[in-house]
Amino acid sequence: MSFRHLVVGFTNHQLVELVGALLGKDYRRQQATYDLRRLRRKGLIIRRPHTQRYDLTPTGRRVAVLFTKTYGRVLTPGLAVMDLTLTHEVAARSPLSLAWHQLQQTLDQLIDDGVAAA
């Protein structure tokens, strides 16, 4: 993936190509236009005067970094240890995994008890 858009900005067309490739499905120009409008209203991007190019604002850059770091450092490892198919030996290494398995068992028990009582 190229990061030249950080320097030269990006266009609607480039956004369609990048997002379509990341999603692995069709992402239309109209969807990109809608998304760009919302990002502008939120102050995450700005349009370069007299062009069809957009740039990240300082806030937009901070939000992008926040989401990237959250995904890499919190979400991915957290989801990995909450996988119910992990063996007990692997799951026992993580307090989050143990808590998640306990919650899952408790919820299953409550649902079973509720169905049995009904």
* Inside any domain, residue 14: yes
Q: Which residue has the tokens 């209203």?
A: 41
Q: How confident is the model at residue 47 (pLDDT cuts 50, 70, 90)?
A: very high
**What are 72-104's pLDDT values in tens digits?**
888 888 888 777 787 778 777 888 888 888 888
pTM: 0.65
CATH at 33: 1.10.10
DSSP secondary structure of 41-109 = HTTSEEEPTTSS-EEE-HHHHHHHHHHHHHIIIIIHHHHHHT-TTS-HHHHTT-HHHHHHHHHHHHHHH
Q: Is the model more confident about 12 or about 6?
A: 12
Number of domains observed in the structure of the chain:
1
- For the cut 60, the answer to whether the pLDDT of residue 110 exceeds it is yes
* Inside any domain, residue 117: no
Q: What are the structure tokens assigned to 22, written together? A: 């990341």
